[in-house]
Every structure is written in structure tokens, then in C-alpha cells.
Amino acid sequence: MDFEGKTAIVTGAARGIGRGIALELARRGSNVIIADIDEEPAREVVAEIQAGGTGANYCETDVTQQWSTDDMVEAALEGYGQLDVLVNNAGVGGAPGFATRKTPNIDDWQATFDVNVYGIVNGIQSVEKYMTDRGYGKIVNIASVAGRLGRPGFASYGASKAAAINVSQAWAFKLAPHGINVNAVCPGLIWTPLWQSIGEWRSSMDEQHAGMTPRQVFERAVSDAVPLGREQTPEDVGNAVAFLASDRARSITGQALNVDGGIRMN
């Protein structure tokens, strides 16, 4: 899967899964726009990619604002002359302090949908005219295994990720006649800042996890839920994204690929 000469945007690429995706695409030769609202860690990712000999630029991006995702696309075109891949990865678990609440409040619902759903919609709307006119493009949206099965406690997050899958299918159908593939990836259990917050929530709100560190909570979840018996990594997701963003996946669109060690077998 050679990405030499191609350009990708990865939103929420300053850390965690987004960073892993950006590094994997760069490793395969793609120029990468690191689109994130958090400048300092984003620029660290840019430097890491550039040190490997691949092009990378930072673009301050708030995916909840259409003008900002428009600017993100413009930055890619101005910097590299073309845009081949959009990875809508930016996501949140809830509003600030969500890990301290036993059930999501209205602010959590608003925050998850603003970033996890409308952020994807904004990103797609910002690239679709360019990709449609060109007759080529790959869009990969990062959903979650949480979007496959509803659970109490983080219903707002799960619902937003279910919506991300549906949005992916809707635009896959719309853009297919224009040579554009749209797919989703559903990560499983990955140790990220989001899971740190989830672990904090469970250790404080759930009796069976009382007294456990967030990492211990996470490791128990992996042991209980993952048939392959191991946690997933940002690199695992990066490999899946790289495949779906490549021409080897030219006949795949409208799909949601689980990268979860077998949590959901569908």
C-alpha cells in the first residue's frame, strides 16, 4: 500500500488513535495534515513525521465548525496541491468532567454529537466538492465498537458512534457514483486518554472496580471482553485505515470494520 505523492488529513491527530493513524500513513509515504485543536502535541507529531522524511503540516482545527474544516482542506491543497484521503478521527467521551458522572447529562450528549457526529459531517462536507470534481477520494471515519451495542453509563458516546457508522453509510451511497469510497473503522479497547477517563469513572462509580487504578480497570475490561485476549493499539487502527484508504480497497465502501480483537463478530 504505497501512498507516495498522496496527501491525507487526519483530524484529532495530536495523540492517541489519531496520532497512530497519522504516523502509519506517513510511514507509507503520505504527506499528512495534522488537524487538531491542541497545538503543542500536534506540532510534536508533525516534527516526528518530518524527521522520518515525509511531509507534514499542522492546521489548527475545530471540527465542530464548518469554516474550520474548510480551512483544513484549504491548508492541504495549498501545502501539497491535492487531497486524497480524509480521516475523521476527532472524538470526545463527553463534556468536561464526564468521567465524574454516573450517567451522561445533556452537556455530554451535546459534546459527543458536536464532535463525534457533526465533526464528521463537517469534514465530509468540506472535502466532497473537491473529491467529487476530481472523481477520486478516500474517506475513513473512526467510529467505535461502542456504536455496535448500547450500554448504560456511556449511552451518549455509544449513540454518537452508532451515528458515525450511519453517516458513513449515507455518504458512501451518495459519493459512490463519483469514485469516492467512504468507510468506518470501529476500534475496540485501546489505552488512550479517553480510556483513562473511563477507568477513572468506573473506579469511582462502579463497586466492582472500586480501588482499582484506571489502567487496572482497562486491563480487566480487555480480559473480560476481548476473545483474542489482548488490547488493541493505535497502530492496529492505523493499519486498518491505511488499507481502507488505499486503492486495494477500491471495491469496499459503506462498511464498518471492527478492529477489536473479536468483541463484536459481525
Domain residues of the chain, as ranges?
Answer: 7-188+233-259
List the grid coordinates of 72: 483544513
| DSSP H helical ranges for the chain | 16-27, 39-51, 66-80, 106-116, 118-134, 155-175, 193-205, 214-225, 234-244
The yes-or-no verdict on residue 83 having pLDDT over 70 is yes
pLDDT above 80 for 10? yes
Task: State how far the Cα of 24 lies from the Cα of 27, in Å rounded to an integer.
Answer: 5
Reference 85, options 1, 166, 145, 192; nearest CA is 1
Residue 203 is predicted with a pLDDT of 82
What is the reported pLDDT for 208? 83
Share of the chain above pLDDT 90, in %: 83
| pLDDT at residue 1, rounded to an integer | 64
According to DSSP, residue 178 is labeled G
| 136 catalytic residue (yes or no) | no
Span 141-159, mean pLDDT?
Answer: 90
Question: What percentage of the chain's residues is helix, strand, coil (to nearest 5)?
Answer: 55, 15, 30
Q: Whose grid coordinates read 472535502?
A: 127
What pTM, to 2 d.p., does this model score?
0.95
Q: What is the pLDDT of residue 120?
A: 99
- What is the CATH topology of the domain spanning 7-188+233-259? Rossmann fold (3.40.50)
Angle at the Cα of 232 from the Cα atoms of 61 and 14, rounded to 5 degrees: 20
Catalytic residue chosen out of the listed positions 58, 80, 136, 157: 157
More confident residue, 138 or 200: 138
Q: 51 falls in which pLDDT band (50, 70, 90)?
A: very high
